[in-house]
Amino acid sequence: MDYQISVKDLSFSYNLKKVLEQVDINISKGSFFCIVGPNGSGKSTLLRVISAALKPREGVVIFEGTDINEMKIRSIAKMLSFVPQNTSLEFDFKVSDVVLMGRYPYVNKLKGETTQDFEIAKRAMEYTNIAHLRSRNFMELSGGERQRVILAQALAQDTDILILDEPVSHLDLQHQVEILNLIKKMCVDRKLTAITVLHDLNMASAYSDYIIMMKDGKIKEQGTPFETLTAANIKKIFDIDVYVTVSPIGNKPYIYALTKPSIDKKGIRIHVICGGGSGSNIIGSLYSEGYDLSSGVLTIGDLDWKISKENDVQIAEEVPFVGISEEAYAKNKELIASADAIVLTGLYLGKSNIKNLEILLDKEMKSKPLFILEDENFADRDYTEGAAAKLYRSIKAGGNVILTDSKMLKEEIIKAVRTHGKRQE
């Protein structure tokens, strides 16, 4: 029970329309917690129920042991601050006045703001780097500057929890990054818990410790970015086809929306023999063309394995550092046998994966078209003292081999499948 916030069995409806249904969440202190989901999935409503701006029909929101709806509005304001998508003032105020409003829950009505309040507001402005704007009017500022002012106000409010409803949706890329960096910094420096709705899944992936995926008022998935942001989940929640890879920086999932308008499945399956990242691009581009894919034998945790996992690729897999077992070999063989074509990428070869070459000499495989992505430095990838090179030469001498490169691959596949005919179902 170390959770700072627990949402239990929460339901909410506007009039008769159910907006939230049986939501359960636990949030631990200091985490960057993100809610994603399509428009109208109940994300903003959930934030407002957590912040007690809306009362739930059923269920409770518990803050460090206390039901939030039993607390006074002022006490809630001392624990929790809220940052909206954007703030627009019909009557303009100076930046310093807006930040000072953050002290409202602490101010005695008759005495007014104390020197301490002014000091806290000043420090909040320095922290968010807006001290130089303090005498400017709020509405004269750019969107990013305004959002920093609102963050300063939230800091001046001196709360443990920061709730943000699409805080960067109105901003350009530079300011999106600037604001999210600032929020992340507040989480780390001040042990603030951030609960935010973000639209950009890659931003959510890069910043979040924990992600909740919502649809139709229900939580469909929750977990770390790797656990949640998979192609299958994104298809389920957003109904879009994406390709998920691993961001080279920060080791988080990185999502590409597939921009090809028609990705009707072609009904053709390609088996990719890869490893160590040599197959990532191939898997991505073939997947976006609508091919069914399988891959193997891949070591669990390998980059190609991760990408295969995230893109619904069938995998013959093996635990790390043990070589390829009979079982994995058989699975790989089974996948190849049922594929229409095989692609061999420029993978590194060692004792543990040399069987991935051997399998191509199996007589049952001879009839399949085999595309080899050739490069000139096979020797550099060979860590088997020549054994692999020998196998490689005999594979290339086989019947259905097409030497190609990654650019030409798609065309070659189409050509080969046309002449060779699709596999018989």
Partner 1 sequence: MGRGKNRNRLLLILLIVSLILSLIFAASTGAVKIGAAEIIATITKGHDTVNASILLDIRFPRVLLAAVLGAGLAAVGGVMQAIFKNPLVDSYTLGMSSGAALGAVISIITGLNVSVLGMETTGIFAFIGAVLTLFFVYSLAYTRNRMSINSLLLAGVAVSYFLASVISFLMMLNRNKIEHIVFWTMGSLSMATWDEVFISAVLIVPSLIVLLYYTRELNILVMGEDAAHHLGINTSALKNILLITCAVIVGSVVSTGGTIAFLGLVAPHIIRLIIGSDNKRVIPYSALLGSILLILSDTAGRVLIQPSEIPVGVMTSIMGGPFFIFLLRKQRN
Name which of 77 and 341 has its Cβ closer to partner 1: 77
**Residue 374 backbone dihedrals phi, psi, to 5 degrees:** -90, 145
Measured distance CA(274)–CA(327) in Å, rounded: 18
To partner 1, the closest distance from the beta carbon of 148 in angstroms equals 15
Residue 57 sits in the site that holds partner 1 (CB under 8 A) = no
Residues 10-29 that bind partner 1 (CB under 8 A): 14-15
CA distances from 296 to 163, 226, 301, 343, 359 (A): 44, 21, 13, 11, 11
* 314: nearest Cα among 348, 337, 345, 347: 337
Neighbours of 253 (CB within 10 A): 27
Residue 97 sits in the site that holds partner 1 (CB under 8 A) = yes
- Total residues in contact with partner 1, by rule CB under 8 A: 32
Measured distance CA(273)–CA(173) in Å, rounded: 38
To partner 1, the closest distance from the beta carbon of 92 in angstroms equals 6
Specify the stretch interacting with partner 1 by CB under 8 A; choose among 104-112, 217-225, 270-278, 385-393: 104-112
Judge contact between 210 and 30, C-beta under 8 A. Answer: no
Specify the stretch interacting with partner 1 by CB under 8 A; choose among 82-90, 216-224, 284-292, 341-349: 82-90
Judge contact between 19 and 40, C-beta under 8 A. Answer: no
Residue 235 sits in the site that holds partner 1 (CB under 8 A) = no
Residues 6+ apart with CB under 8 A from 186: 151, 155, 162, 192, 194
Q: Work out which of 42, 56, 102, 225 binds partner 1, going by CB under 8 A.
A: 102
Specify the stretch interacting with partner 1 by CB under 8 A; choose among 74-82, 121-129, 173-181, 204-212: 74-82
Judge contact between 193 and 27, C-beta under 8 A. Answer: yes
Site string for partner 1, 143-182 (x = CB under 8 A): --------------x-----x-------------------
Pairing relationship of beta strands 32-36 and 193-197 according to DSSP bridges? parallel
Q: Work out which of 32, 82, 210, 291 binds partner 1, going by CB under 8 A.
A: 82
Q: Work out which of 41, 51, 314, 332 binds partner 1, going by CB under 8 A.
A: 51
Q: Summarize as ranges the residues that interact with partner 1 (CB under 8 A).
A: 14-15, 48, 51, 53, 73-74, 76-78, 80-82, 84, 87, 89-94, 97-98, 101-102, 104-105, 107, 109, 135, 157, 163
